[in-house]
């Protein structure tokens, strides 16, 4: 086989491999769009917002092992919000991961912590602020 033809085939093959690799590794914004719509993100995180929390005082977000990514407070509330590592809302062996105080500053609170029992959110009197919780 001709040396020039072999080099041309190798170059075309490498270019094709680069296109496939680029397509595999590049996020075209789908991750953020899925998160904003309430689905799983490109990076594997799911979300729970205050629309799923409603007026109840406790809400089970995820059962079993998970990773708590972050809590985004868009508007604060006059009530506290607790994040718990618990198997159910009545789990007496639960541990508190974090407490977001009443009238907390708006912003993103990043945790990136492993939760081995499940993820529960609890409010003292029905948290009425706007928030998003990401978990994996």
- Which residue ranges make up each domain of the chain? 45-135
Please tell me the predicted confidence (pLDDT) of residue 30.
Answer: 45
Task: Tell me the H-state helices in the chain.
Answer: 3-25, 30-36, 50-53
Residue 126: what pLDDT? 60
Mean pLDDT of 82-100: 87
pLDDT at 72: 85
pLDDT of residue 34: 39
pTM assigned to the model: 0.61
Least confident of 10-24, 36-50, 78-92, 101-115: 36-50
What is the arithmetic mean of pLDDT over 31-57? Answer: 52
Query: Which residue in 23, 43, 25, 21 sits closest to 33, CA to CA?
Result: 43
Classify domain 45-135 at the CATH topology level: Jelly Rolls (2.60.120)
């Amino acid at each position: 086989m001709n040396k020039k033809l072999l080099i041309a085939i190798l170059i075309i093959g490498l270019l094709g491999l680069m296109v496939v690799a680029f397509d595999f590794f590049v996020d075209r914004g789908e991750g953020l769009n899925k998160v904003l719509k309430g689905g799983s993100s490109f990076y594997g995180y799911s979300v729970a917002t205050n629309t799923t929390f409603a007026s109840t005082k406790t809400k089970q977000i995820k059962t079993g092992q998970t990773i708590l990514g972050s809590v985004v407070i868009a508007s604060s509330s006059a009530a506290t919000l607790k994040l718990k590592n618990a198997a159910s809302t009545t789990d007496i062996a639960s541990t508190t991961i974090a407490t977001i105080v009443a009238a907390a500053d708006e912003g993103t609170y990043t945790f990136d912590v492993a939760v081995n029992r499940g993820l529960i959110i609890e409010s003292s009197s029905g948290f009425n602020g706007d928030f998003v919780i990401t978990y994996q």
